[in-house]
Amino acid sequence: MDVIRLRQSEKKLAARVFARSFFDYPLMVTIYPDRKRRARYLGWHLGSMINYGLRYGEVYTTPDTAGVAIWLPPGQTHCTTWRYILTGFLPVPFLLGFKQHGLNTRCDNILIKVHDELMPGPHWYLWAIAVDPDRQGMGVGTKLMQYGLENADAQNLPCYLETHDEKDVLFYMKRGFYVLRIQQIPGADLRFWCMLRELSKRPTGAENASDDVDC
């Protein structure tokens, strides 16, 4: 299975894959509790994440766009409001509404604060990875992660990620990550797992692990 860089022409297709994979993801359910609004806007929202990855990081996919991984390299791992605006997130407050936008902002701020606290030094950041539900369990997620992990190993740097879905923790542990912190979002039935892969934590058992993952 080949892994390639995502091309601009494939961005809309990749956003649809993200939306299918993340439709029931706890964070997206929290900020888009209405299923109809989630179905309508989630592809656009995640497409803006892809824009961010293309501009400030590296976005990988497969030739059939079965999955997508967004990696942010050292020096680009701190997400800022201005960068969000530049990559298309400006309409988010109008699409979410006042209450949900406030919740989304609180979630983002806590995520960024904890990230900066736990990872003050250079590192690679697996910002998001998704595999189309019809292709999960076939090794797509493992392949998409491989490129970023190899980049980190070549530079002797750690990799960091968060996931809001507890069922994904085992997937990452089988690839050499371990849990640094479990953080609750105040005022919401939502938490996230902060995970680290050091250079010495080589992935093991990846060939036997499920690809039912999104972060």
Q: What is the pLDDT of residue 215?
A: 62
Provide DSSP, 21-89: HHTT-HHHHHH--SHHHHHHHHHHHHHHHHHHHHHHSEEEE-TT--EEEEEE-TT--S--HHHHHHTT-
Q: What is the pLDDT of residue 208?
A: 43
Q: What is the pLDDT of residue 93?
A: 81
Cβ neighbours for 6, distance < 8 A, ≥ 6 positions apart: 14, 50, 54, 59, 60, 61, 68
Task: Write down the pTM of the prediction.
Answer: 0.89
Q: What is the pLDDT of residue 209?
A: 47
The domains of the chain are located at: 4-208
Q: What are 138's two structure tokens?
A: 């076939």
Per-residue pLDDT of the chain (215 residues; tens, 9 = 90+): 788 999 989 999 999 999 999 999 999 999 999 999 999 999 999 999 999 999 999 999 999 999 999 999 999 999 888 999 999 888 888 888 878 888 888 999 999 999 999 999 999 999 999 999 999 888 899 999 988 899 899 999 999 999 999 999 999 999 999 999 999 998 889 999 999 999 754 444 444 445 556 66
The superfamily (CATH) of domain 4-208 is: Gcn5-related N-acetyltransferase (GNAT) (3.40.630.30)
How far are the Cα atoms of 7, 29, 73, 106, 125 from residue 2, in angstroms, in the given order?
Answer: 15, 32, 21, 38, 22
CA nearest 46: which of 5, 79, 12? 12
- Backbone φ and ψ for 214, nearest 5 degrees, come out as -155, 145
Q: What is the pLDDT of residue 147?
A: 82
